[in-house]
Structure 1
Amino acid sequence: MLLAGGLARRMGGGDKPMRTIGGRTILERVIARLSPQCSGLILNANGDPARFAAFGLHVVADDVPGFPGPLAGILAALDWTATNRPEIEWVLSAAGDCPFLPRDLVARLHDARARENAQLAVAASGKQSHPVIGLWRVALRNELRHALVVEDLRKIDRWTARYPLATVTWPAEPLDPFFNANTVEDISEAERLAALDEAS
């Protein structure tokens, strides 16, 4: 599941995943990275879903009002999966503005989760955790809804702290696979990194 529900305030609004790097949108790059790793992809985005029609993905909006953040997008994906793909137990979430995601992301998260008997798994690089990029158990969706709606909990790491959690770390050099384009300056840096990525 790709999270594209943010407000992109630091870029002056609009959809960050639709910005272009090296002639391709960030979203195209994310889809190309994750499609071989997943049995299907959906996109979490609010507003008119038609703007993403060219990508051919199911677009799922938050159903918790007030832009409560990425946990609402994760909940929307878990609910959609429970209804439409009930055979699936685990959902990967990834930020829609991370163009260089690891090609072994899903495999390594699953391996760590199974090895550590964890309920959740998240990615890290260097010394920084990336809780938006993780593996979520569909069976936890009602507990997540309660945390969001009843407890007004917003921070991902406060919720994940309630469960056995596996953290998988990737090297941040020469290219951080979880680099995300938050600002106009980041887009320029991403152009430079795209050349490195394609050379690797």
Structure 2
Amino acid sequence: MTAYAAVVLAGGAARRMGGRDKPAVPVHGRSMRDRVLAAVADAVPRVLVGPGGSLPADVLVTREEPAGGGPVAATAAGLALLHPGTTVVALLAADLPLLTRPAVGVLLDALAAESGPGASDGICLLDDRGRRQPLCGVWRVPPLRAALDRTAARRAGALAGALAGASMRELLSELTVRELAWSAAGPPPWFDCDTDSDVRRAEEWTR
């Protein structure tokens, strides 16, 4: 099995859910944040970028700079806590209550199966409309770090502050990304909860 780290992004504003702490919203009695962390229980380390709370002792907590600076700034903050030799990271949103360890394993195995000059820099799932879900994927750390550096340089500033407001599309534009459609039975692991209606739908899937 591929050794990997996990960075879980939990700092979004959740405007469509009244601005509350969306990752803390329970789905079938367990917060979405805890469900995502459980799906990467074998990652070393596990990093949560966003508000902490009651978490397993091994989970490292940090914040993007500035707080609320968006997913690219949060990605940089999370990668800053990884061990220098880390080569693979699962980059995940904290609002994926249907994510499972087997689903993460599929992504890791797909990335590990590629090698050589044409290998992908990362693999992420597609949703049921064929849209890329970059915060439900696994990535090679060196090219991801390099992409962060290039994005910061284009924005002409220090790494942390320059990345505030940057989009994932901009970050990944220079990377080789493989998109994987999920075809296994059961709830879709890419399903993210942006509204109360989404939470109710996830509840139905987890019954």
TM-score above 0.5: yes
SS at match of 1:17: helix
8 Å contact kept, 1:120–1:160? no
TM-score scaled by length of structure 2? 0.78
Taking a change above 3 Å as real, the CA distance of residues 66 and 147 of structure 1, as seen in their structure-2 partners, is farther
- Residue in structure 2 matching 1:134, options 112, 137, 140: 137
Contact 2:126 2:182 in 1 (8 A): yes
Shift of 1:172: 8.0
What is the aligned partner in structure 2 of residue 188 from structure 1?
Answer: 200
User: What is the rounded CA distance, in whole Å, between the counterparts of 1:150 and 1:161 in structure 2?
Assistant: 13
1:44 matched to 2:49? The reply is yes
Q: In structure 1, list runs of 5 or more residues that go unmatched.
A: 196-200
Q: How far 1:120 sits from its partner (Å)?
A: 2.0
CA offsets 1:74-133 (integer angstroms, 9 cap, x no match): 11111211xxx1221121111111111143333332333342611222222332220112
> Would you say the 8 A contact 1:122–1:133 is kept in 2?
yes
- Offset at 1:149? 5.9
Q: Normalising by structure 1, what TM-score?
A: 0.80
The aligned counterpart of 2:27 is: 21
- The 3-state SS of whatever aligns with 1:14 is coil
**Is contact 1:112-1:168 (8 Å) kept?**
no
1:98 maps to 2:96: yes
Q: Does 1:122 align with 2:114?
A: no
Q: 1:142 offset after TM fit, Å?
A: 4.4
Contact 2:10 2:33 in 1 (8 A): no
Match in the other structure for 1:147:
151
The equivalent residue for 1:176 is 188
Task: Confirm or deny: 8 A CA contact 2:11 2:67 kept in the other structure.
Answer: no
In 1, are the aligned partners of 2:98 and 2:202 still within 8 Å (CA)?
no
CA–CA separation in structure 2 for the residues paired with 1:32 and 1:18: 14
Report what 2:158 is aligned to.
none
150-159 or 117-126: bigger deviation = 150-159
Q: In structure 2, give the amino acid aligned to 1:103.
A: R
Residue number in structure 2 paired with 1:198: none
> Could you tell me which of 176, 190, 195 is aligned with 1:164?
176
For 1:188 and 1:172, locate their aligned partners in 2 and report how far apart those are by CA, in whole Å. Answer: 22
Q: Spell out structure 1 runs of 4+ moving beyond 4 A.
A: none
Tell me the alpha carbon deviations over residues 116-175 of structure 1, each in whole angstroms, 9 at most, x when there is no partner: 611222222332220112223332324413404643672213332312222222138652
Report how far residue 66 of structure 1 moved.
6.7
Distance 1:31 1:104 in 2: 13
Question: RMSD of the TM alignment (CA)?
Answer: 2.4
Identity %: 30
Q: Any unmatched runs of 5+ in structure 2? A: 1-6, 156-161
Q: Greater shift after overlay, 95-104 or 157-166?
A: 157-166
| C-alpha distance in structure 1 between counterparts of 2:24 and 2:69, whole Å | 22
